[in-house]
Structure 1
């Protein structure tokens, strides 16, 4: 059984960043896990159980977004039992990942 991970959402659905990009999914970080950039691990929340902005989410790691031209990776967290293809995940994170050279790796 996969370990549950709690994501603190700091960019909920509808959040608009400095460049004007509006977030279509919830995005946040995993406390106490330090990523390659020296900050807490960033995470996208992709789940059919979420229909709007949230403050936190507890789920499982289903994929890792590897940025080949950056020093950080992003985790994709979903509800236990949900499955997605790499193509589906790529479509959901494209709004930000389009600016990077990325690969998505599914986690068993």
Structure 2
């Protein structure tokens, strides 16, 4: 599935790693909500992942707008950037807010 199809669309995200939870393998704490788009398939064989920005409490589900994609140059697993309707973030803000995990990859931000 081409993640670019999601740009500019409203998507539903199942949050399996809510803000404040700990990554099981690497031990870091998620400073934002992180989840996946149900019934999708990313190149890594899992569902398409999404970072949720602009919500400052742990969630289990969220519907919002996909404003950008973090495209990993050295990995096959792109990440959607999902925000509340009408909210926006600059590329620099997106990279800063996702650095806790994206620091391990070479990435660019894609826009509609």
Q: Is the structural similarity TM-score above 0.5?
A: yes
User: How is 1:1-80 mapped onto 2 (pairs within 5 angstroms)?
Assistant: 2-17=8-23, 18-47=25-54, 50-80=55-85
What is the TM-score normalised by the length of structure 2? 0.88
- Structure number with higher strand proportion: 1
Please provide the CA RMSD for this pair. Answer: 1.0
Do 1:67 and 1:101's aligned partners in 2 also have CA atoms closer than 8 Å?
Answer: yes
Q: Deviations over 1:43-65 (max 9, x none)?
A: 00001xx2210101000101100
Q: Which stretches in structure 2 are left out of the alignment for 5+ residues?
A: 1-7
The reply on whether 1:96 has 2:101 as its aligned counterpart is yes
How far apart are the structure 1 equivalents of 2:9 and 2:69?
15
